[in-house]
Amino acid sequence: MASPVFITNDQVKSVLTWPLVHESIEEAFKSVVVRKDKSLKDQDQPNAQQKAKVRTSTPNNGASLATMPGYIGNHKVTLESGDRKTFQTLACKLVTRSPNNIHLKPPIPRILANILLFDEQTGQLECVMDGTLITAWRTASASVVATKYLYFGRKNVNPSDGVTLALIGCGVQGESHALGMCTEFKVNEIRLLNRTASKAVELSAQLDTARKTFVNPNPIVTVCPTIGECFSDADIVVTSTQTEEPLVHLEMLKKDVHINGEYRDLDSIQILIKNFLSAVGASVNSYSELGQDIYDVAPVYIEYWAGAKADLADLKTNIVCEVGEVILGSGKCPENGISVFHSMGMAVEDAAVVQAVYQNLKKK
């Protein structure tokens, strides 16, 4: 029996592209939709099985392990050669959180991820893949794909006109969201806001070096001093902070704007220590970055119902449907107004991306 291979972050980086990740995320979105039409065409669509995250904590140092098993069948992967093949993928992501890592010399990231890919037929472990970069890219890609269908799918939006993108929170997710959006859409202006202004300046410099990969290689990049200036007239908003209080209110937004929010999934120890989850965040008792006045008027779209029932149970708003339903045509894109996409993260997203990376590395 062959031994599994370990695939490093540098190897992942050598084949990871935004089109590859976007394709995988679209397949994952479609796979979780429970389809009533049992026609042959419907059966050819990707399908999924996944469980909620299982967490194990180590009380002595506040560390934790989260496991995310998932299966996605009949999903498509485009290889570097241009061939598009169908795969059945069984995988499990393991995520560790160790708060003390930042105090080590040298420090290492608090959050580390590895993804296990299995042979779907035999159950044999094929590879262990560093999942750090994949996690950052697939989270941002979920927002990009949602924006593609929920904002650019509107009849009154012309993609060639370009948009203004506003990001609050300029860490890892702020960076990956900015890169993902700019390489997929024509972005005329990028506005950045971070609690520590130097982080926004740093991201601005990173975007400047990457602009040759953008649809519009010459966007205006502005570091904003206030939320009002950052969000004023913005077409697409990304929130990615760990605030305990609502930062964004209805009066700050234009009437037709799409908001991407990533659900902040903290482990049980962190929840006890600090009573919040951040919509790219949610709190235990409130959905912190966005004010209730936004949820009172804006329809919310999600990745999958099971996750929303578990993680967004206390959210007082109108959850319309899964993004996959919009992609497949059984759900409707908003015609206008404010829309919100809440990203929670799915095991099948990781499974689809890890298979695509693995297959392209094998070709090399």
* Parent domain of 75: 5-134+349-363
CA gap 129, 116 in Å, rounded: 6
Specify whether 224 is located in the same domain as 310: yes
- Picking from 2, 25, 132, the residue whose alpha carbon sits closest to that of residue 355 is 25
Q: Which amino acid is at 195?
A: R
Q: Are residues 116 and 233 in the same domain?
A: no
Q: Domain check: are 309 and 353 in the same one?
A: no
- Strand 318-322 and strand 299-302: pairing? parallel
- Size of the chain, expressed as the number of residues it contains: 364
DSSP bridge partners of 192: 167, 223
Non-local CB neighbours of 117 within 8 Å, separated by 6+ positions: 89, 90, 91, 125, 126, 127, 128, 129, 351, 354, 355, 358
Give dist(CA 11, CA 52) in Å, integer: 29
**Quick one: which of 222, 239, 233 has its CA closest to 139?**
239
Does residue 334 sit in the same domain as residue 359?
Answer: no
* Domain containing residue 249: CATH number: 3.40.50.720
Is 184 found in the same domain as 73? no
Q: Are residues 274 and 149 in the same domain?
A: yes
Check whether residue 285 and residue 165 sit in a common domain: yes
Per-position pLDDT tens, the chain of length 364? 788 999 999 999 999 999 999 999 999 999 999 865 555 455 678 999 998 888 899 888 889 999 999 999 999 999 988 899 999 999 999 999 999 998 999 999 888 999 999 999 999 999 999 999 999 999 999 999 999 999 999 999 999 999 999 999 999 899 999 999 999 999 999 999 999 999 999 999 999 999 999 999 999 999 999 999 999 999 999 998 877 678 888 999 999 999 998 655 443 333 322 322 334 543 333 455 888 999 999 999 999 998 888 878 788 889 999 999 999 999 999 999 999 999 889 999 999 999 999 999 998 7
Residues 242 and 146 placed together within one structural domain of the fold: yes
- Share in percent of the chain as helix, strand, coil (round to 5): 35, 25, 35
What's at 71, amino acid-wise?
Answer: Y
| Three-state secondary structure call for residue 351 | helix
The verdict on 109 and 246 lying in the same domain is: no
Q: Are 168 and 289 in contact (CB under 8 A)?
A: yes
Q: Which two tokens stand for residue 210?
A: 């990457």
The CATH number of whichever domain residue 83 belongs to comes to: 3.30.1780.10
Let me know whether 42 and 104 are in one domain.
yes
Q: What's this model's pTM, rounded to 2 decimal places?
A: 0.91
Helix (H) or strand (E) holding 226, with range, is: none
The two tokens of residue 43 are 């059966």
Which ranges in the chain belong to alpha helices (H)? 9-15, 18-31, 40-43, 132-150, 172-184, 197-210, 227-231, 268-273, 292-295, 305-311, 323-328, 347-363
Number of domain units in the chain: 2
d(CA 298, CA 225): 26
State how far the Cα of 187 lies from the Cα of 19, in Å rounded to an integer. Answer: 17
Cis peptide, bond prior to residue 106, ω within 30 of zero:
yes
Whether 128 and 241 map to the same domain: the answer is: no
The string of pLDDT tens digits covering residues 69-78 is: 999 999 999 9
First to last CA, the chain: 23
> Do 94 and 196 belong to one domain?
no
Phi and psi angles of residue 320, each rounded to the nearest 5 degrees, phi first = -80, -60
